[in-house]
Amino acid sequence: MSRCSQCGELTIPKIEDSTAPDPVADISSTAHHSRLLSTNEPPPEGPVLAYVHDVVSKTSLRLATVDKNITDLRAHLKQLEDERSLLSDSLQKNISITSPLRRMPPEVLAEVFFWTLPEEYKEPAKIDQSPWVLGHICSRWRTIALSIPFLWSKFYIARATDEPNLYPPLPMIETQIQRTRTLGIHFF
C-alpha cells in the first residue's frame, strides 16, 4: 500500500494483469482432452499430455496472481476500514462538542434536574436514580447537581424493620445531608 505524493490519500494497489486469457477456457480445445475431463482414463503421451501440463502451469500462475491481488485488496480494505474507524470516532467526538446541551445554561439544567426527581418517595435512595445518577453523567452535570441543595433535601426512611434493604447505607445518608447544606430536610 502507498499514499499519493500529492494528496496523501491511500492508493489502490496495482492489480496484476487480470485481462490475460483464461487458460481454463482453452482446456476443452480437443475432443480427446474433453473426454479426459469427464473420465478417469490416463492421458496418452504426446501433445495432449503436453497441452494438459501447459494448462496446469498457466492456470497455477494465474491462480497465484489472482490470490496475490485478493491479498493486496484485503490489506488495502483493512487499511481503509481502520482509517474509517478513526475518522468516525473523531467525527462523533467533534459532533458532541457542538451539542446544544453543552451550551444549555446551568439554570435550565437545574430545572431539568428538578423534573427528574421522583414524585413520591416510597423507597430508599439508590445510586442509579435521581439525584445520585446526575453526578455520573459528566463533570459539568455533577457540579450543577451538587450546587442545588434542593435536589438532595428529600429522604425516604422506612419504619423499623429487620430487612436491611429498606435502609440506604449510612454514608449515602450522610453525603445527602451534607449536600442539602442549610436547606431543610424532608423525611418520608
pLDDT in tens, 82-131: 999 999 999 999 999 999 989 999 999 999 999 988 877 666 667 778 88
Indicate the pTM of the whole model.
0.49
Same domain (yes/no): 81, 106: no
Residue span of the structural domain in which 47 resides = 2-98
Residues 72 and 106 reside in one and the same domain: no
Q: Are residues 65 and 8 in the same domain?
A: yes
Per the structure, the count of domains in the chain is 2
- Chosen domain end from 31, 65, 98: 98
| 88 plus 117 within the same structural domain | no
Asked if 91 and 109 sit in the same domain, the reply is: no
Same domain for 124 and 71? no
Tens of pLDDT along 6-51? 777 766 656 665 555 554 444 445 677 788 888 888 888 888 888 8
Which whole-number Å values give the CA distances from 93 to 1, 18, 102, 143, 159, in the listed order?
A: 29, 42, 13, 22, 48
> Which of 98, 115, 134 is the endpoint of a domain?
98
Asked if the model's pLDDT at residue 175 lies above 60, the reply is: yes
In single-letter form, the type of residue at position 21 comes to: P
Q: What is the pLDDT of residue 132?
A: 85
Distance in angstroms (rounded) separating the CA atoms of residues 132 and 169: 13
115 and 72 in one domain?
no
Cell, residue 158: 422506612
The per-residue pLDDT for range 64-88, each reduced to its tens digit, is 999 999 999 999 999 999 999 999 9
Q: Helices marked H in the chain — which ranges?
A: 31-38, 47-97, 106-116, 139-146, 170-180
* 131 class by beta-carbon count within 10 Å (0-12 exposed, 13-18 middle, 19+ buried): buried
Whether residue 80 sits in one domain with residue 31: yes
Q: Are residues 94 and 109 in the same domain?
A: no
Question: Are residue 16 and residue 44 in the same domain, yes or no?
Answer: yes
Contacts of 156 (CB under 8 A, 6+ apart): 121, 122, 123, 124, 125, 187, 188
Same domain, 9 and 82: yes
